[in-house]
Amino acid sequence: MSLKENLEKLKSEGLKDIADSKEQHVLNDIRVKLLGKKGPITDTLRGMKDLPAEERPKIGSFANKIKEELAQAIADKQEEINKAIINEKLKKETIDVTLPSRKSNKIGTQHILNQIIDDIEELFIGLGYQVISGPEVEEDKYNFEKMNIPKNHPARDMQDTFYINDELLMRTHTSPQQARTMEKHDFSKGALKMISPGKVYRRDTDDATHSHQFNQIEGLVVDKNVTMADLKGTLEVLVRHVFGEERKIRFRPSYFPFTEPSVEVDITCFACGGSGCRICKFTGWIEVLGAGLVHPNVLKNSGIDPDIYSGFAFGVGPDRFAMLKYGVEDIRNFYSNDVRFIEQFKGEEA
Ligand code: FA5
């Protein structure tokens, strides 16, 4: 058989093999076999050295043509196989959009602490207060100094503190919002009435009623002739709104460097009803907020004349409110992210 005939034969056999192949790996083997360096075409071309010189280029270009035809046939086959693979996949993965959905989609709920905070916000908005938020990373100046707690004053020990540097700290209470809003307020437009909810941080040892991170809601009213009676009336409205008329409350004299006089408000313990238990540390009462008349130094520190203006302020612990309202025995439950706990409060939203 001549070299040319040999090449023709290789081509027709090759085309038949390509046409017959149905799988990727078979086609790959054919490609390597036909077009590879050790394949029969390369092999056959070695015989070219025995041909007359003028025949060699003709056979060379004939061989290249055959190689191109075979390569094209392989590429076409490759495309055919790819299409078949995709079609097969599409057939297998058909989605029946008419099937009913699975009932596992859970609808979330607002966290109970945010529910309480929102509820208190609504109450105070109704009483004409503005709601203001402030920074959690606070300046020492606002957290302590403007609140009448100078550097090295022993009253700083009342709130163990996470410092970031000498001048910055995680705020220990929402009271710095008092100074921040007083500084900005324009009294020609009327009284200052605001509440400011947010997270606060203390290096407290966590126990059933203490967490190192918890929420507070600051309240502040500054105007002419604000008295202790205004404070008492406001706090009674707040406590009755959240807990209902039945719960007993008491005002207890206390001390805060930024109020004078100062009070703390306690509510009868939810667990024992007032007889004394582990949760209320056997007192029958749980403290829920601190309050008082704004200290004249605090007014002065924010550029307000205490001879003309007076005010009251309070700091509520909504975590404690939620514990008392819903009988939650451990404050850490609010922060442990256990969905079973959180789900119990579905639908409490106002
Ligand atoms: C204060 O933080 C004052 N800034 C409150 C205040 C504001 C007084 C304005 C006067 C005028 P006290 O440290 O007592 O005060 O905290 C206030 C409330 O926050 C407490 O009554 C309690 O409800 C809550 N609280 C305090 N420490 C914790 C804690 N570690 N975990 C959870 N709640 C806490």
- Whether 210 is in the pocket of ligand 1, judged by its Cβ within 6 Å, is yes
CA separation for the pair 19, 40 (Å, rounded): 19
My answer on whether 7 and 152 are in the same domain is: no
Q: Mean pLDDT over residues 306-312, rounded? A: 98
Task: Give the pLDDT of residue 5.
Answer: 85
Q: Which residues contact 104 (CB under 8 A, 6 or more apart)?
A: none
Average pLDDT, whole number, for the chain?
90
Could you tell me if residue 101 is inside a domain?
no
Same domain, 25 and 160: no
Q: Both 43 and 132 in a single domain?
A: no
Q: Are residues 32 and 131 in the same domain?
A: no
For 100, other C-beta atoms within 10 Å of its C-beta total 5
- Give a yes or no: residue 24 inside a domain: yes
Q: For residue 111, what pLDDT is reported?
A: 93
> Where in the sequence is the domain holding 257, given as residue range(s)?
112-345
Q: Is the CB of 31 under 6 A from ligand 1?
A: no
Grade residue 2 by pLDDT with cuts at 50, 70 and 90: confident
The model's confidence at residue 212, banded by pLDDT at 50, 70 and 90, is very high
Whether 83 and 165 share a structural domain: no
Residue nearest to atom 3 of ligand 1 (CA): 315
> Does residue 140 belong to any structural domain of this protein?
yes
Is 106 inside any structural domain?
no
Label residue 348 by pLDDT band (50, 70, 90). low
| Residue 102 counted as domain residue | no
**Is residue 297 domain-shared with residue 259, that is, in the same domain?**
yes
Of 36 and 87, the structure prediction assigns the larger pLDDT to 87
Token output for 164: 């970031």
Tell which one of 156, 256, 293 to mutate to probe ligand 1, the residue whose CB is within 8 A of the most ligand atoms.
256
Residue 195, CA atoms < 13 Å, CB-side half-sphere: 26
168-196 pLDDT, tens digit each: 999 999 999 999 999 999 999 999 999 99
pLDDT tens profile 131-182 = 999 999 999 999 999 999 999 888 888 888 999 999 999 999 999 999 999 9
**How many domains in the chain?**
2
Assess contact for 214 and 287: CB atoms under 8 A.
Answer: no
What span, in angstroms and rounded, lies between the C-alpha atoms of 15 and 38?
Answer: 18
170 plus 292 within the same structural domain: yes
pLDDT for the residue 349: 56
Q: In angstroms, what is the span from residue 263 Cα to ligand 1's centroid?
A: 12
pLDDT at 105 over 80: no
Of residues 313 and 26, which shows the higher confidence score? 313
pLDDT at 259 over 50: yes
Closest ligand 1 atom to the C-alpha of 216?
Answer: 19
Distance 188 CA to ligand 1 centre (A): 32
Does ligand 1 have an atom closer than 6 angstroms to the CB of 202?
yes
Does the structure show a pLDDT above 60 at 319? yes
Residue nearest to atom 26 of ligand 1 (CA): 317
Inside any domain, residue 99: no
Is the Cβ–Cβ distance between 170 and 139 less than 8 Å?
A: no
What is the Å distance from ligand 1's center to 33 Cα? 83
Q: How much is the pLDDT for 155?
A: 83
| 295 lies in some domain | yes
Where residue 350 falls among pLDDT bands split at 50, 70, 90?
very low
Which among 32, 64, 92 is the end of a domain? 92
Pair 184, 300 in one domain: yes
CA–CA distance, 117 with 96 (Å, rounded to integer): 45
Domain check: are 59 and 187 in the same one? no
201 & 341 share domain: yes
**Residue 270 pLDDT > 80, yes or no?**
no
120 and 84 fall within a common domain? no
Q: Does 142 lie in the same domain as 55? A: no
The predicted-structure confidence for 34-58, as pLDDT tens digits, reads as follows 888 887 878 777 777 788 888 888 8
